[in-house]
Amino acid sequence: MISIFDSVKTIHQIQELFRMSNFQIITTVSAQLNISQKQVQTVSGFLEEGATIPFLARYRQEATGGLDEEQLREIRDALEFQKALSARKETILKSIAEQGKLTDDLEEQIKNCIELSTLEDLYLPYKQKRKTRGDKAKEKGLEPLAELVWSQEIENGNPDDYAKEYVSEEKEVPTVEDAWKGATDIVAEWINEHLEVREKLRDIFQKHSTIKTKKNPAVKDRTNFEDYYEFTSKVDRLKPYQILAINRGERENILFVNTEVWEERTLETIDDIVITNDMSIFTERLQDAVEDAFKRLLSPSLERELRNALTEKADAHAIDTFATNLGNLLMQPPLEKKVVLGLDPAYRTGCKLAVVDGTGKYLDGTTIYPTPPQSKIAESEIVLGKLIDKYKVELIAIGNGTGSREAEQFVADFIQKSGVPVSYLIVNEAGASVYSASKVARNEFPDLDAAQRGNISIARRVQDPLAELVKIDPKSIGVGLYQHDVNQSQLSGKLDDVVESCVNEVGVNLNTASAPLLTHISGLSKKVAEGIVHRREKEGIFTSRNQIKEIEGVGEFRFQQAAGFMRIPESKNPLDNTAIHPESYQAAEKLCNLFSIDLEKLSSQKDQVALKLSNINTKQVAAELGVGEPTLELIIENLQKPGRDPRESLQKPILRTDVVKMEDLKEGQKLQGTVRNVVDFGAFVDIGVKQDGLLHVSGMSKTKKVDDPHDVVGVGDIINVEIIKLDLERGRIGLKLY
């Protein structure tokens, strides 16, 4: 035990210690991520200045040593954790020092601690807490008796003779057993605070405990948790989605959950640590304290800690899954310049129609009633036909909500009967209602009702999924599993990273982008984004990237961060419509002069430009231009493909002209489908019928076991599948890849 008479550190010394800890943080992060200290130090400096991850990944590769976005975010997150850990250490050291109990040995342990759980274990004996049974026993003067038990030095005599000395009516210790009870309470708390005991038991709980769930007998109705009514699993074999399901079932009072360990073996483990002298006359009392400490203090505490750790792990996995799905969804290829008619299906209230032109501008809208109970097919066909004819509609986007398949049947029948050159597709409308009621939607369409605003969103999602979906809270987009159960702060941070990454990878047209889209551009704030749109509406289109500097709030640093991600097709300088940063314009122009490339004719001479810039000595040319090789490679890539959209090469969505019914399907049938969602156990695939089919992970490969479905498919992928199971009554379709 630590004596208060050992040497202690002053608060001033602690503060000085942590002023010098930044180097330790850099060193620790470097070792954890296997990235050089120089790279970590460089990135840390950039981040402190306010640089964004997309900017560093694209325009500072020479400085960072070529780190990509994922590595940069790992460094950022690790730095944040280490800084938080360092701050917690400082708080703990101050607290212990103020109590006059901080020894050199304890300080060294705290300084070198790399796990938050171990740090809190070290602090536990000094933590301010409400009065415990041990504290009450100490007030009764029983601590010396507890110290006799703990020291295990006495090997001869009757233990009760020592306890009799502490019997006192005045101190409310009327009997020997009361004395032993109080002393045991004190020793049990020492055992609970013992660092090695907690570390050993934490390891046992993490590796050898079992989770058991049972149905609450009070629950009579069927639920979604029937798989867990009699469920048992070792904790190290629990899958993330099982953890989240169990948590939700427990939270909704449908499941009772217990964590169990082999108690006898666990108590023996504590004995091995705590009992150092078997000859002590107090060994039996010490064993009583061990059992009490385990059942009353250690087990509940470590079970909570284990459940929290499992939840954190499951949350992280679910958040990563959601983020991957969201990224794939946002990067779906746009069907640009098509006149689209959005159809928001419904029954009683009718189907809302909205026509948008090739730029997404709202043209016209109305309501038809082709679905039950009205079923006004003929009247609806007339209205639909007039809109298609008047605005030269090329594509009908049907939301996948209530009444979707009836609306699809109506549209397919109309196309077949009328012979109009129009296709349709089903669009995931998740989040459309959230958008329609938002301030953004009200500002865009102040004269339209919410339902029609949501329908416009459905139509625009086809034209440019990224530009439209960024207006919606990512959690409402509906690609993932248990997204409302996980840590919402971590989820929001991760999804913000995904949106930021996608928007900046694609870039935005400064003359058409909405304020919500511009907000996600590197370095831009909501106020600046709104200022750009206001300036555009008031003074007309931008014709140069430099004009961004005219916006209030855009200084040199903000311009540096944002400029490379903005595109201006109307600019007189062709480089303004590329990902080449203005700071590299001089190098780009010099490169063009070296290889006789006419900047004014970039778009019309792509093949010639590519030929001239192929097989050049990048190291030599970069040195001649005074730039790094990564910058030169970026310049070359963009000179060859000015205005390039990275989504262009991806698969376009499946367009349909006829509907498929579940009754038309049969086992063994092969068809194409679109992946709508990817989860731990497989993927949900739209094959053109009312119900999405499940492509189970077991059906993703004939030759090897697939551990992560994302390794095989992603949201938006067009895949070839075969029906292997069909349950018409339950509306279930089992699929496999072929």
What local confidence, expressed as pLDDT, does residue 643 receive? Answer: 80
The reported pLDDT for the residue numbered 142 is: 97
Q: How confident is the model at residue 615 (pLDDT cuts 50, 70, 90)?
A: confident
Task: Walk me through the domains of the chain, giving residue ranges and CATH numbers.
Answer: 11-126 (1.10.10.650), 133-209+261-321 (1.10.3500.10), 340-479 (3.30.420.140), 526-640 (1.10.150.310), 662-737 (2.40.50.140)
Query: For residue 11, is pLDDT > 70?
Result: no
CB 599 within 8 A of CB 575: yes
**Following DSSP, what letter does each residue of 229-294 receive, concatenated?**
TEEEEEGGG--HHHHHHHHHHHHTTSEEEEEE--HHHHHHHHHHHH---TT-TTHHHHHHHHHHII
* Confidence at residue 2, expressed as pLDDT on a 0 to 100 scale: 38
pLDDT tens track for 305-346? 999 999 999 999 999 999 999 999 999 999 888 999 999 999
Residue scoring higher pLDDT (479 or 326): 326
pLDDT for res 473: 86
Q: Span 616-643, mean pLDDT?
A: 93
Q: What is the pTM of this model?
A: 0.83
Distance CA 715, CA 686 (A): 11
Q: What is the pLDDT of residue 36?
A: 97
As a whole number of Å, the CA-based R_g of the chain is 33
Mean pLDDT of the chain: 92
Looking at per-residue confidence, does 433 or 184 come out higher? 184
Handedness of CA 116, 119, 121, 124 (dihedral sign): negative
d(CA 183, CA 140): 10
Percent of the chain clearing pLDDT 90 (strictly above): 81
pLDDT of residue 601: 86
- The per-residue pLDDT for 261 is 96
What lies within 8 Å, CB to CB, of 566 at 6+ separation is 507, 508, 510, 521, 545, 548, 576
pLDDT over threshold 80, residue 518: yes
Structure token pair of residue 140: 């009764």
Q: What is the mean pLDDT of residues 39-53?
A: 97
- Would you state the pLDDT for residue 17? 55
pLDDT of residue 649: 79
Residue 553 binned pLDDT confidence (cut-offs 50, 70, 90):
very high
Q: Nearest CA to 424 among 410, 434, 437, 435?
A: 410
Give the tens place of pLDDT for each residue, 219-269: 999 898 999 999 999 999 999 999 999 999 999 999 999 999 999 999 999
